[in-house]
């Protein structure tokens, strides 16, 4: 359902979770790194789900949680881009991984990543304003949160056979 929303315009709807897991586990040169990626994102999403009820009940005070938002949400975008920037994927043998990692050339996402890295963003009435050289973009906080959750779900699919998840 989250992939159908295409948060931030990222289209990963064609990713098959079972094939993604198989691609991850069959790429001996990247298997350890990809598994580590999945474990990190699983933990980040778990932490986020733990604090969401508090954020929801205190949404009128969200501006006071700027640092928490960074550590619980925006760091996921940063980690994702740092992780994928040097990975080369053979699109013919790993089409699902390629679909994910081709986003490293998405200029809009790269500008958002730069704004996060330089801490050049601010909250304003439920939106996050990202700034980078000659770039300013306002995104709904909820869309950023959905995008971060999508990254986590992808990480979980990379490291867990969904046929065996309870």
Decide if pLDDT at 154 tops 70: yes
Length of the chain: 166
Structure confidence at residue 166 as a pLDDT band (50, 70, 90): low
Question: Among 155, 109, 163, 143, which residue's Cα sits nearest to residue 15?
Answer: 155
Residue-wise pLDDT tens digits, 114-150: 998 898 988 887 789 999 888 899 998 888 888 888 8
Read off the tokens for 102.
Answer: 């081709």
Q: What strands lie across the sheet with 127-132, from one edge to the other?
A: 121-124, 127-132, 135-140
pLDDT of 165 strictly over 70: no
Phi, psi of 138 (to 5 degrees): -105, 130
**What ranges make up the beta strands (E) of 104-158?**
121-124, 127-132, 135-140
Q: How far apart are CA 146 and CA 16, in angstroms?
A: 19
Structure letter (DSSP) for residue 160 = S
Quickly state the pLDDT bin for 5 (edges 50, 70, 90): confident
Can you give the pLDDT at residue 30?
A: 82
Contact 147, 139 (CB under 8 A): no
**What pLDDT sits at residue 19?**
92
Answer yes or no: pTM beyond 0.85: no
Burial class of residue 29, CB neighbours in 10 A (0-12, 13-18, 19+): exposed
End-to-end CA distance of the chain: 19
**Structure confidence by residue, pLDDT tens digits, 19-70:** 989 988 888 888 888 888 888 888 888 887 887 787 778 767 766 666 677 6
The predicted pLDDT at position 43 comes to 82
Q: How confident is the model at residue 157, as a pLDDT?
A: 86
Torsion angle (degrees, nearest 10) of CA 131, 134, 138, 142: -60
Q: Which of 144, 113, 114 is nearest to 128 (CA)?
A: 144
Say how far apart CA 147 and CA 49 lie, in whole Å: 14
């Amino acid at each position: 359902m989250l992939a159908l929303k295409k948060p931030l315009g990222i289209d990963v709807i064609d990713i098959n979770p079972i094939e993604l897991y198989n691609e991850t586990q069959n790429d001996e040169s990247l298997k350890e790194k990809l598994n580590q990626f999945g474990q990190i994102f699983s933990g980040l999403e778990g932490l986020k789900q733990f604090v969401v009820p508090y954020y929801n009940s205190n949404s009128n005070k969200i501006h006071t949680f700027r640092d928490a938002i960074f550590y619980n949400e925006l760091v996921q975008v940063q980690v994702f881009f740092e992780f994928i920037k040097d990975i080369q994927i053979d699109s013919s043998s790993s089409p699902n991984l390629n679909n994910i990692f081709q986003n490293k050339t998405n200029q809009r996402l790269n500008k958002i990543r730069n704004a996060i890295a330089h801490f050049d963003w601010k909250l304003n009435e439920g939106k996050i304003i990202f700034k980078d050289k000659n770039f300013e973009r306002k995104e709904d906080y909820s869309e950023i949160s959905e995008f971060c959750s999508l990254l986590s779900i992808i990480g979980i699919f990379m490291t867990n056979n969904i046929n065996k998840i309870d």
